[in-house]
Structure 1
Amino acid sequence: MSNDIKQQFWKALADSPNLMVGATGERAHHIPMRAQLDRDADSAFWFFTATDNRLAGGGPAMAQFVSKDHRLFACISGTLRRETDRAALDKLWNNGVAAWYEGGKDDPRLLLLRFDLDDAEIWTADPGIKGLFKLATGMTMKEGDLGGHAEVAL
């Protein structure tokens, strides 16, 4: 089950790579960030941001994700780190990112953060015919009738 739900998570994130991200233990609200994915990396994703962003300092972080069809939900823990590998920046750079940085890849405000993933709780919301019937008729719901849940190491 957990490998299946893990694969569903990566597919959903690739389809809509927007998350809410915040520092663990901070009272500041989480902020929307657009993940940059690398097919060869299954335990990290990246964010382009500015050096004055509240997450620029890195550290323990949490991210929340909802798929665009609202059938998959995830809460992800990990660590934000400044990515210093220029090859990573070059690989992930695209026109959508370039639009935000007047100086291009050498803009002094540009910062690439890597989110190293630790683990996640992932829920799927796919009730199927049986689950929908139970909801419509008021029958007692059981775990799994509306979808799946897994705690996974990413």
Structure 2
Amino acid sequence: MSKDKTPHEKLWDMIKDIRFGMLTHRHADGGLHAHPLTTQNQALGEQGILYFFVSKATELGQRLQADGNVNVSYSDTHKDVYVSITGRAVVSNDRSAKERLFNPMTKAWFPGGVDDPDLELIEVHVVHAEYWSVKESKPTQLFKMAAAAVSGERPKMGEHKEVSV
């Protein structure tokens, strides 16, 4: 990634090819619940908002209206990229956003299109992100872990950073 990229661009580069994010929220009983959701964005704009379509039947939107503090995590085990995003979720009635984001795959879940009575748009306003990215090949990783096990020192692999958005 270029050093000239904004935090939004760096974050988007890491998650853009990961189809599903796990959105974790607080349930009414106080426990944490996670849902796999498809990120609808084509980019992460300067406002730093992630978009998800959900079903009103799940009551997820109601839970987020009660407590919008969420975490969205992404992982790509093939590329060894892991991202954790802290944000504030809101239910959006923005019709133009629904029209812009709606696609043929979404129609499988919401056959009525943007007017489907079960369709709900969730906006997650990114507050903070943290990522781990391992650039070393698998054999190099194994070698470093073996060397660390012998030496008693932690292996030094990859990159771990926090991004303020």
1:134 to 134, 144, 156: 144
SS of corresponding position for 1:102: coil
AA aligned opposite 2:154? M
How large is the RMSD of aligned CA atoms in angstroms? 2.7
Change (3 A) 1:9 1:41: closer
CA contact (8 A) 2:90 2:124 kept: yes
**Paired positions, count:** 151
| Counterpart-to-counterpart distance in 1, 2:74 and 2:44 | 21
1:1-154 correspondence runs (5 A): 7=9, 9-24=11-26, 26-39=30-43, 41-42=45-46, 43-57=48-62, 58=64, 59-127=68-136, 133-137=143-147, 138-139=150-151, 140-142=153-155, 145-154=156-165
Structure with the bigger percentage of helix = 2
| Counterpart-to-counterpart distance in 2, 1:49 and 1:130 | 41
| Counterpart-to-counterpart distance in 2, 1:134 and 1:13 | 27
Gaps of 5+ in 2: none
| Counterpart-to-counterpart distance in 2, 1:46 and 1:37 | 6
CA contact (8 A) 1:74 1:121 kept: yes
Change (3 A) 1:32 1:92: same
CA contact (8 A) 2:56 2:120 kept: yes
| Counterpart-to-counterpart distance in 1, 2:104 and 2:16 | 17
Ranked by relative contact order (alpha carbons within 8 Å, sequence separation 6 or more), the top structure is: 1
AA aligned opposite 1:53? T
TM-score, length-scaled by structure 2:
0.77
| Counterpart-to-counterpart distance in 2, 1:85 and 1:114 | 10
CA contact (8 A) 2:129 2:163 kept: yes
Output one character per residue of 1:117-147: Cα deviation in whole Å (capped at 9) or x when no partner.
Answer: 00012111223687554334334335xx211
1:50 deviates by 1.0
| Counterpart-to-counterpart distance in 1, 2:120 and 2:41 | 16
Gaps of 5+ in 1: none
TM-score, length-scaled by structure 1:
0.82
CA contact (8 A) 1:82 1:111 kept: yes
Residue identity over aligned pairs, in percent, reads: 25
